Amino acid sequence: MTETVFANAEIITEDAVLHGTMKIVDGVIAAIDSSAGVPSGAIECEGDYIARV
């Protein structure tokens, strides 16, 4: 299982732009969380945008 976490990102979805964390597991979005913290091991996005397409 491969897991990647992007934190402190502006996440663009079909309905909104959220500030928070996105977890990807095996190439699939597993969770989007609007928390402000940066989990250990996460990629710090420093407010960069990530688009969910």
Tell me the per-residue pLDDT of 1-52, one tens digit each, with 9 for 90 and over: 899 999 999 999 989 999 999 999 999 999 999 977 899 999 999 999 999 7
Q: Hey, where are the domains in the chain? A: 3-51
What span, in angstroms and rounded, lies between the C-alpha atoms of 26 and 13?
19
Side-chain-side CA neighbours of 53 within 13 Å: the count stands at: 3
Which residues lie closer than 8 Å to 24 by C-beta, 6 or more apart? 3, 4, 5, 6, 30
Note the pTM of the prediction, 2 decimals. Answer: 0.88
What span, in angstroms and rounded, lies between the C-alpha atoms of 23 and 4?
6
Domain 3-51 fold is Urease, subunit C; domain 1 (2.30.40)
